[in-house]
Homo-oligomer: A and B are copies of this chain.
Amino acid sequence: MKRDSRLSGVLHVLLHMAEADGPVTSEVLAVAMQTNAVVIRRIMAGLRDAGFVRSEKGHGGGWTFACDPEAVTLRDIYDALGKPSLLAMGNRTEAPGCLVEQAVNAALSDAFAQAEALLLGRLGEVTLAMLSADFHARMAARPGTTQDHGHEH
């Protein structure tokens, strides 16, 4: 089962933007993420609609931050991505009337729901500012790194 790395990816993009002075184009972000500009636009659309970032057209355009990093949590970002399913396993639903299936699903759903709630809670405790601070700490700890992002893409 393949894992979705959109959340991870979008956070990567956001940290990039946070470091930049002005707007960053989809093209530039795409290179950093080793993907296509259209993919970046697609993934950012939700964040734009949610008001976390802004996009500008034309010369000098691109993506800019539009929120207070202290106030936005990873949970908010997750929501803006469309709340993709967190769990890789789910219930069978092919025989809803089957009592065996009902018994199985009841047992699993409980555990699944609890794990999901825990995960969402944790995501809600981490702000973008904390992530950014962690990144800066790592950069400071790394010898011989200058003012760039420490990237080796």
Residues of A within 8 A of B (CB): 1-9, 11-12, 15-16, 33-34, 74, 84-92, 94-95, 97-108, 110-112, 114-116, 118-119, 122-123, 126, 130-131, 134-135, 138-139, 142, 149-153
Contact = CB atoms under 8 A, between A and B. Distances in A.
B107 A74 contact: yes
A33 B153 CA distance: 47
Given A11-B108, A12-B101, A15-B100, 18 more contacts: A1-B4, A1-B84, A3-B87, A3-B88, A4-B90, A5-B90, A7-B89, A95-B152, A99-B135, A100-B149, A100-B150, A107-B130, A107-B134, A111-B123, A112-B119, A114-B118, A114-B122, A115-B118
A139 B103 CA distance: 10
Nearest to A13: B100
Contacts of A1: 2, 4, 84-85, 88
A96 to B, nearest CB: 9
Contact of A34 (B4, B34, B94, B153): B94
A90 B122 contact: no
